């Protein structure tokens, strides 16, 4: 499992712990995320996704317009919030 310190060294992004998604301009999603990551650019997004996949960390990628339903109103893992186009 990746540690926050490792991610901060590798990725240029904003990191938030135990935050409501609605506080980050994510509409239509009423849930608390263990971690919210906002990568600064495409390269950081691609690198972040590779690191999360490789480590087996649960994660989901959404944008500010997305609609995502979490069964228990909580996502246990990293939520990557970005409007970047790949």
Q: Where are the domains of the chain?
A: 4-81
Starting at the edge strand found earlier in the chain, the sheet holding 13-20 runs: 13-20, 32-39, 74-81, 59-62
- Classify domain 4-81 by CATH number: 3.30.43.10
pLDDT digits (tens, 9 = 90+) for 20-75: 988 888 877 778 889 999 999 999 999 998 998 888 888 888 877 766 656 667 88
CB 37 within 8 A of CB 15: yes
Helices (H) and strands (E) in the chain, counts: 2, 4
Cα(73)–Cα(53) distance, rounded to whole angstroms? 23
3-state secondary structure of 7: helix
Mean pLDDT of 14-21: 93
């Amino acid at each position: 499992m990746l540690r926050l310190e490792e991610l901060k060294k590798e990725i240029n992004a904003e990191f938030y712990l135990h935050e409501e998604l609605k506080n980050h301009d994510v509409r239509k999603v009423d849930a608390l995320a263990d971690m919210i990551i906002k990568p600064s650019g495409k390269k950081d997004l691609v690198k972040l996704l590779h690191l999360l996949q490789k480590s087996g960390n649960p994660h989901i990628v959404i944008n500010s317009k997305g609609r995502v339903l979490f069964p228990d109103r909580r996502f246990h893992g990293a939520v990557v919030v970005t409007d970047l186009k790949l």
